[in-house]
């Protein structure tokens, strides 16, 4: 069995501009959503209280809302969580509220108006902790970017490291854009997924670049786009198979992992899909625009730079 | 060329055996147990305790599955939770006949049901996080400023004593914010006092202030001292929390410092979170101060301008009371506090026992203030309440003090418990809290397990169909990766959380990448017309560089998460980083060993089962 019976190198670079335009538009859209809609941050980042309760039968959300209203709560959000029996109640931070007793107060209120609830989870995060988590998250992202740029610059040369990191940051922004557009909850585990996928899809670019370098060194007389086409074509089956395998695992989490892992695996799914696209079809054109050429890899010898591709048949 | 020297095979075999042994305890599950441990530092749990547990259970006719003594205490296993609960009640009654003064902690626990020989190899099951086993997690922020203030208050008292001992007259020692201001009548006394204070209080930085007409000394804490006090306060608070949690009866509490000024408290299996929070969150400290009964002073205070150096408090029952700011004694000087009853009035009371220094101060103060009133304050969360303000009738020596006044028996019990459990060196606030019900924990384990299992199965099916024998080898390598990872987590006793399980799944999904790389490379070499043995060798050699690259970039992300992550992210990062390390070993070394075992021995290998290797037409022959 072999999925990829590719006779010729696929002329990806001929469509480089198209791909870049697509990326650019998606990217801009993502940024627009991020700014207009913003991320729906979880309690971990914003601070506040989250109470999860379980009912024997389907829960009556209206009754629960009524119960909370009567107990003097405001700005609460009540929604089903996973199933009709599970209910999640969120409360924002309040200045003077006795937060440490909040869980109990809520349970008492529910007991009176909508009895039969069993407490499954309470989460309370103070304002300071939330702020710190957000700062630490940003620091982690920065550290990953710097780490990867340094590693790639050391391993290849600056053109590769710059294009790889741009391509993958564009993934990160797009994942965030999805979360902003659909108003999915952005929690700490989603952040972990985003960073993990960043590290993971960078290596996709590494694989392609490895081939680019190898081809530049080994094969003479190919234009830069041809070299890139060849490198992408010869790694495409590996790219799709590995990402497919990883996606199988993520899919399994998406299906069986329950509500807690749902957004985590969703972020991974988007990350993996765009990871394939960006590391292959965004990073490579970028390398080309940045003017990579043969003489950077072999002993100096003038070769016409950025030659037009003429139907890259090998 | 595809043969490993013997030592490599042996290394792989040993690694696999070790991986298997340390993974094994996770399969035995857990059995319900009751743990008896000491609630007091002076009380040791030893063989005698063990024998006593055995006798008690025998006398009550409760069957058990073995008694174990370790550094945590005496643990007894039971067949089911009903027996466990019954046994707990019996043991509780026997070991703590006086419920208000528990000597032992009798707590429900779960013990690994793995056989003894495994436990003796330190092969323990993975340590499950709270989201998997249920329980409460608190993050407490220590108010360092509060600790410093407290210290300055007690230092002010010490300075007064020093000045009095040296007969240096002063015009008042007062704390103003984070400094102590001492007023004097003349410069000469001030200079003498400066030396005296500098001698007796090395932690203080003392500077002159004010002019000759109004000489003052301003004392502040040196930065090193501030830091020391902060560290001490944190340690003291951790100890106090330990004591308080002991009173709650939790089997394996985790109380750790996090960062500079935070404490993490995790109480696995605790259901009654309200009680736990109440006990933890209460930052009650005791203070004894003098009451200002100057005529008219109280009225002035009620009108909004209390006389200098006094504060207005409400006595229990509502009466306002003017209390001097100067602290005579704090809860630090307390040896013991017991609930009881007043000998004369039969009112509920708390009996305090002061240490020798405290007893001396108390004796001096009562002697000098006969006829005056003394206020006993309970400070909770920065707010004070006067429990009682009795009139001092005679000098009280011996350090025995009784607090009584408008208390119920339950209040007396609670106050005694709070005072006995030690005072907190600095107030604390809960800044993060997570409570996870036990059923949710079990559900999370199930979900995590199912995700991993089905994902693994799907990958296995695909790999075997697509790469045949090489696929089988890849799957075996992946299975060994899982084995190593679980063994490592069990061995390190790293906390496994739901994000941790997700990381296991994700790591496996990413680890197969290495084998795909190898297999694709081998196919490519075959396509280029290389003989099978050479193709295998080349495939592994060439893929290695790429594998290393991809793992390093993933590791960079993992490490960043480990450094900056907290809570759920840290759990994810630990497993992710460990998984990357084990995956390099299993996907490269283990899979190569297997391939070598299968194909390496055949001298003339014509064909390898790596799935169909499709060769493009001559015109489009592979370039390299």
> Considering only B44-58, B545-559, B597-611, which range has the smallest mean pLDDT?
B597-611
Q: Is a pLDDT exceeding 60 seen at residue B439?
A: yes
CA end-to-end distance (rounded Å), chain A: 25
B63 neighbors B79 (Cβ within 8 angstroms): yes
Of B606 and A30, which is predicted with more confidence? A30
For the stretch B3-60, pLDDT in tens is 888 888 999 999 999 999 999 888 887 788 888 887 765 677 888 888 888 888 888 8
Instruction: Identify the band that residue A248 occupies on the pLDDT scale cut at 50, 70 and 90.
Output: very high
pLDDT score at B247:
67
d(CA B307, CA B316): 22
pLDDT score at A313:
39
d(CA B458, CA B452): 10
Torsion of CA B530, B533, B539, B545, to 10 degrees: -120
Q: Is a pLDDT exceeding 70 seen at residue A309?
A: no
For the stretch B170-205, pLDDT in tens is 888 888 888 888 888 888 888 888 888 888 888 888
Q: Where are the beta strands (DSSP E) in chain A?
A: 40-41, 48-54, 77-81, 83-91, 118-125, 185-186
Which of B232, B222, B219 minimizes the C-alpha distance to B160?
B219
Which one of B382, B467, B477, B502 would you mutate to disrupt binding with A, by most A Cβ within 10 Å of its Cβ? B502
Largest Cα separation within chain A, whole Å, is: 84
Closest residue in chain B to residue A48, using alpha carbons only = B432
- B431 closest CB neighbour out of A128, A152, A249: A128
- Residue spans per domain, chain A: 12-41+129-296, 48-125
Closest residue in chain B to residue A129, using alpha carbons only = B431
- A199 closest CB neighbour out of B553, B623, B624: B553
Instruction: Identify the band that residue A2 occupies on the pLDDT scale cut at 50, 70 and 90.
Output: low
What one-character DSSP code corresponds to residue B390? P
User: Taking residues B580-597, what's their average pLDDT?
Assistant: 91
B493–chain A nearest CA distance, Å: 22
**B513 vs A contacts (CB less than 8 Å):** 203, 242, 245-246
- Please give the interface size between A and B, counted as residue pairs whose CB atoms are below 8 Å apart: 254
A116 neighbors A56 (Cβ within 8 angstroms): yes
Geometric angle at alpha carbon B481, from B477 and B484, rounded to 5°: 135
Contact assignment for B435 to A203 by CB distance below 8 Å? no
What one-character DSSP code corresponds to residue A48? E
Segment (H or E) for B74: strand B73-77
Q: What class does CATH assign to B282-432? A: alpha beta
Q: Is a pLDDT exceeding 50 seen at residue A303?
A: no
**B613 vs A contacts (CB less than 8 Å):** 2
Q: Where are the beta strands (DSSP E) in B101-253?
A: 104-112, 127-128, 135-142, 173-176, 179-183, 204-209, 216-221
User: Buried (b) or exposed (e) across B380-406, using 16+ Cβ within 10 A?
Assistant: eeeebebbbbeebeeebeebebbbbbe
Geometric angle at alpha carbon B620, from B616 and B624, rounded to 5°: 95
pLDDT score at B290:
87
Which one of B449, B481, B513, B514 would you mutate to disrupt binding with A, by most A Cβ within 10 Å of its Cβ? B513
Q: Is a pLDDT exceeding 50 seen at residue A288?
A: yes
Which one of B282, B541, B553, B622 would you mutate to disrupt binding with A, by most A Cβ within 10 Å of its Cβ? B553
Query: Within its chain, how far is the Cα of A313 from the centroid?
Result: 36
**Which tokens in the block code for residue B378?**
């309970």
Contact assignment for B444 to A260 by CB distance below 8 Å? yes
B232–chain A nearest CA distance, Å: 23
**B381 vs A contacts (CB less than 8 Å):** none
pLDDT score at B40:
65
What one-character DSSP code corresponds to residue B171? S
- Residue spans per domain, chain B: 6-23+437-620, 30-113, 145-226, 282-432
- A124 closest CB neighbour out of B432, B459, B524: B432
A243 neighbors B520 (Cβ within 8 angstroms): no
d(CA A184, CA B611): 42
B73 neighbors B36 (Cβ within 8 angstroms): yes
**Which tokens in the block code for residue B66?**
């073995």
Which residue, chain included where needed, has tokens 């090998």? A314
Which one of A196, A207, A230, A255 would you mutate to disrupt binding with B, by most B Cβ within 10 Å of its Cβ? A196
pLDDT score at A302:
44
B144 neighbors B152 (Cβ within 8 angstroms): no
**Which tokens in the block code for residue A37?**
């809609």
**A272 vs B contacts (CB less than 8 Å):** none
Contact assignment for B437 to A200 by CB distance below 8 Å? no
Of B331 and B59, which is predicted with more confidence? B59
Contact assignment for A203 to B277 by CB distance below 8 Å? no
Which of B331, B365, B352 minimizes the C-alpha distance to B402?
B352
> Considering only A75-89, A159-173, B460-474, which range has the smallest mean pLDDT?
A75-89
* CATH architecture of the region B145-226: 2-Layer Sandwich (3.30)
Contact assignment for B141 to A99 by CB distance below 8 Å? no
- A189 closest CB neighbour out of B436, B459, B572: B572
Q: Is a pLDDT exceeding 90 seen at residue A266?
A: yes
CA end-to-end distance (rounded Å), chain B: 22
Q: Which fold has domain B6-23+437-620?
A: Multidrug efflux transporter AcrB transmembrane fold (1.20.1640)
For the stretch B87-113, pLDDT in tens is 888 888 888 877 666 678 788 777 778
d(CA B485, CA B477): 12
Closest residue in chain A to residue B465, using alpha carbons only = A1
Q: Where are the beta strands (DSSP E) in A19-145?
A: 40-41, 48-54, 77-81, 83-91, 118-125
Domain A12-41+129-296 has CATH 3.30.750.24: no
pLDDT score at B508:
92
ipTM of the complex, rounded to two decimals? 0.84
Q: Is a pLDDT exceeding 90 seen at residue B271?
A: no
d(CA A182, CA A121): 25
State the average pLDDT for chain A.
81
Domain A48-125 maps to which CATH number in 3.40.50.300, 3.30.70.3400, 3.30.70.20, 3.40.1000.10?
A: 3.30.70.3400
Q: What class does CATH assign to B30-113? A: alpha beta
Which one of B134, B277, B455, B527 would you mutate to disrupt binding with A, by most A Cβ within 10 Å of its Cβ? B455
User: Taking residues B361-387, what's their average pLDDT?
Assistant: 80
d(CA A247, CA B15): 29
For the stretch B298-326, pLDDT in tens is 778 787 777 877 888 877 767 788 888 88
Which of B425, B416, B341 minimizes the C-alpha distance to B102?
B416
**A255 vs B contacts (CB less than 8 Å):** 451, 454
Closest residue in chain B to residue A250, using alpha carbons only = B506
Which of A141, A159, A153 minimizes the C-alpha distance to A283?
A159
Instruction: Identify the band that residue B616 occupies on the pLDDT scale cut at 50, 70 and 90.
Output: low
Strand partners, B254: B266
Which residue, chain included where needed, has tokens 């993975």? B126
**A230 vs B contacts (CB less than 8 Å):** 623
Contact assignment for B572 to A314 by CB distance below 8 Å? no
d(CA B544, CA B539): 8
User: Taking residues A256-282, what's their average pLDDT?
Assistant: 88
Closest residue in chain B to residue A102, using alpha carbons only = B274
Instruction: Identify the band that residue B288 occupies on the pLDDT scale cut at 50, 70 and 90.
Output: confident
Closest residue in chain A to residue B573, using alpha carbons only = A192
Instruction: Identify the band that residue A299 occupies on the pLDDT scale cut at 50, 70 and 90.
Output: low
A154–chain B nearest CA distance, Å: 12
Contact assignment for A248 to B273 by CB distance below 8 Å? no
User: Taking residues B437-446, what's their average pLDDT?
Assistant: 84
Which one of B448, B560, B575 would you mutate to disrupt binding with A, by most A Cβ within 10 Å of its Cβ? B560
Phi-psi region of A308 (alpha: psi -120 to 50; beta: other; left: phi over 0): beta
A17–chain B nearest CA distance, Å: 27
Contact assignment for B614 to A5 by CB distance below 8 Å? yes
d(CA B299, CA B294): 10
Query: Per-residue DSSP letters for B397-451?
Result: -TTEEEEESS--HHHHHHHHHHHHT---SS-EEEEEEEEE-HHHHHHHHHHHHHH
d(CA B560, CA A136): 10
Contact assignment for B563 to A140 by CB distance below 8 Å? yes
**A126 vs B contacts (CB less than 8 Å):** 141, 429-432
pLDDT score at A178:
93
d(CA B519, CA A190): 32
Q: Is a pLDDT exceeding 50 seen at residue A312?
A: no
Contact assignment for A129 to B432 by CB distance below 8 Å? yes
d(CA A175, CA A33): 11
Strand partners, B435: A122, B136
**B558 vs A contacts (CB less than 8 Å):** 196, 199
A249 neighbors A130 (Cβ within 8 angstroms): no
Cα→Cα distances B452→A213, B412, B459, B460, B525, Å: 37, 53, 11, 12, 33
**Secondary structure percentages of chain B, helix, strand, coil, to 5:** 50, 20, 25
Contact assignment for A200 to B557 by CB distance below 8 Å? yes
d(CA B349, CA B343): 9
Instruction: Say whether B183 sits in a helix, a strand or coil.
Output: strand
d(CA B88, CA A277): 60
Contact assignment for B434 to A121 by CB distance below 8 Å? yes
Written in H, E and C, the secondary structure of B564-610 is HCCCHHHHHHHHHHHHHHHHHHHHHHHHHHHHHHHHHCCCCCCCCCC
pLDDT score at B422:
59
pLDDT score at B456:
95
pLDDT score at B485:
94
**Which tokens in the block code for residue B57?**
């259970």
A234 neighbors B599 (Cβ within 8 angstroms): no
Closest residue in chain B to residue A218, using alpha carbons only = B624
For the stretch B490-531, pLDDT in tens is 998 888 888 899 999 999 998 998 899 899 888 888 888 888
B285 neighbors B330 (Cβ within 8 angstroms): yes
**B563 vs A contacts (CB less than 8 Å):** 140, 143
For the stretch A145-201, pLDDT in tens is 888 888 888 888 788 888 888 888 888 899 999 999 999 989 888 988 988 888 888
């Amino acid at each position: 069995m072999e999925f990829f019976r590719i006779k010729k190198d696929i002329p990806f670079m001929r469509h480089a501009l198209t791909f870049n335009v697509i990326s650019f538009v998606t990217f801009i859209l993502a940024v627009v959503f991020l700014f207009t809609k913003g991320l729906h941050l979880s309690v971990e980042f914003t601070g506040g209280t989250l109470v999860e309760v379980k009912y024997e039968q389907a829960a009556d959300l209206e009754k629960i809302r009524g119960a909370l209203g009567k107990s003097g709560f405001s700005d609460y959000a009540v929604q089903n969580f996973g199933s009709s029996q599970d209910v999640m109640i969120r409360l924002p931070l309040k200045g003077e509220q006795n937060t440490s007793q909040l869980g109990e107060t809520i349970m008492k209120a529910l007991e009176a108006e909508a009895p039969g609830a069993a407490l499954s989870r309470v989460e309370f995060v103070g304002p300071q902790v939330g702020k710190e988590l957000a700062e630490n998250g940003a620091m982690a992202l920065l550290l990953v970017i710097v780490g990867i740029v340094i590693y790639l610059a050391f391993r290849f040369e600056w053109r590769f490291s710059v294009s790889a990191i741009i391509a993958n940051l564009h993934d990160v922004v797009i994942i965030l854009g999805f979360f902003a557009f659909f108003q999915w909850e952005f929690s700490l585990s989603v952040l972990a997924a985003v960073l993990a996928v960043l590290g993971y899809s960078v290596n996709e670019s590494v694989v392609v670049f490895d081939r680019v370098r190898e081809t530049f060194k080994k094969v003479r007389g190919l234009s830069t786009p041809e070299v890139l086409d060849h490198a992408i074509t010869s790694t495409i089956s590996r790219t799709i198979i590995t990402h497919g395998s990883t996606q199988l695992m993520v899919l399994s989490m998406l299906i069986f992992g329950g509500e807690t892992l749902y957004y985590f695996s969703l972020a991974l799914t988007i990350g993996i899909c765009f990871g394939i696209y960006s590391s292959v079809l965004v990073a490579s054109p970028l390398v080309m625009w940045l003017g990579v050429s043969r003489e950077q890899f072999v002993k100096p010898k003038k070769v016409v730079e950025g030659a037009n591709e003429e139907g890259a048949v090998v | 060329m595809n043969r490993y020297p013997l030592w490599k095979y042996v290394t792989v075999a040993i690694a696999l055996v070790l991986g298997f042994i340390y993974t094994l305890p996770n399969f035995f599950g857990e059995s319900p147990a009751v743990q008896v441990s000491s609630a007091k530092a002076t009380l040791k749990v030893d063989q005698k305790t063990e024998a006593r547990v055995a006798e008690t259970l025998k006398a009550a006719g409760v069957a058990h599955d073995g008694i174990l003594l370790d550094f945590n205490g005496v643990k007894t296993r039971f067949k089911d939770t009903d027996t466990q609960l019954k046994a707990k009640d019996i043991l509780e009654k026997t070991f703590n006949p006086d419920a208000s003064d528990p000597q032992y902690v009798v707590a429900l626990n779960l013990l690994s049901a793995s056989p003894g020989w495994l436990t003796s190899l330190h092969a323990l099951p993975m340590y499950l996080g709270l989201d998997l086993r249920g329980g409460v997690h608190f993050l407490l922020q220590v108010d360092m400023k509060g600790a410093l203030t407290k210290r300055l208050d007690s230092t002010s008292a010490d300075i007064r004593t020093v000045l009095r001992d040296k007969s240096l007259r002063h015009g008042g020692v007062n704390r103003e914010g984070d400094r102590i201001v001492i007023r004097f009548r003349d410069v000469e006394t001030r200079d003498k006092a400066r030396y005296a204070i500098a001698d007796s209080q090395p932690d203080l930085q003392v500077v002159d202030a004010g002019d000759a007409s109004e000489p003052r000394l301003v004392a502040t804490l040196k930065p090193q001292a501030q830091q020391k006090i902060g560290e001490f306060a944190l340690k003291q608070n951790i100890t106090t929390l330990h004591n308080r949690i002991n009173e709650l009866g939790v089997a394996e509490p985790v109380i750790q410092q996090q960062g500079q000024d935070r404490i993490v408290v995790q109480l696995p299996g605790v259901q009654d979170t309200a009680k736990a929070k109440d006990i933890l969150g209460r930052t009650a400290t005791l203070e004894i101060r003098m009451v200002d009964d100057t005529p008219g002073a109280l009225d002035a205070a009620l009108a909004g301008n209390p006389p200098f150096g006094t504060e207005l408090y409400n006595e229990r029952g509502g009466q306002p009371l003017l209390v001097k700011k100067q602290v005579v004694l704090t809860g630090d000087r307390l040896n013991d506090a017991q609930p009881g009853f007043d000998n004369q009035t039969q009112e509920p009371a708390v009996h305090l026992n002061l240490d020798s220094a405290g007893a001396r101060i108390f004796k001096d103060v009562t002697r000098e203030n006969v006829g005056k009133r003394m206020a006993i304050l309970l400070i909770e969360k920065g707010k004070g309440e006067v429990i009682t303000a009795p009139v001092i009738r005679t000098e009280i020596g011996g350090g025995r003090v009784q607090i009584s006044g408008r208390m119920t028996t339950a209040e007396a019990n609670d106050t005694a418990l709070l005072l006995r459990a030690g005072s907190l060196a600095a107030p604390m606030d809960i800044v993060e809290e997570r409570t996870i019900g036990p059923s949710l924990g079990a559900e999370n384990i199930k979900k995590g397990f199912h995700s991993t299992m089905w994902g693994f199965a799907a990958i296995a099916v695909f790999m075997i169909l697509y790469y045949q024998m090489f696929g089988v080898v890849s799957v075996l390598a992946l299975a060994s990766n899982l084995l190593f990872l679980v063994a490592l987590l069990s061995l390190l006793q790293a906390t496994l959380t739901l994000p941790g399980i997700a990381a296991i799944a994700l790591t496996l999904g990413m680890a197969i990448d290495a084998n795909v790389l190898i297999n694709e490379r081998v196919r490519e070499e075959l396509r280029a017309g290389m003989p099978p043995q050479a193709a295998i060798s080349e495939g592994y050699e060439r893929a290695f560089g790429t594998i290393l690259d991809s793992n390093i970039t993933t590791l960079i992300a993992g490490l960043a998460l480990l450094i900056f992550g907290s809570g759920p992210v840290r759990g994810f990062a630990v497993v992710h980083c460990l998984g990357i390390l084990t995956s390099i070993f299993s996907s490269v070394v283990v899979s190569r060993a297997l391939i070598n075992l299968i194909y390496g021995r055949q001298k003339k290998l014509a064909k390898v089962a790596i799935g169909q290797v499709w060769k493009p037409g001559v015109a489009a022959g592979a370039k390299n």
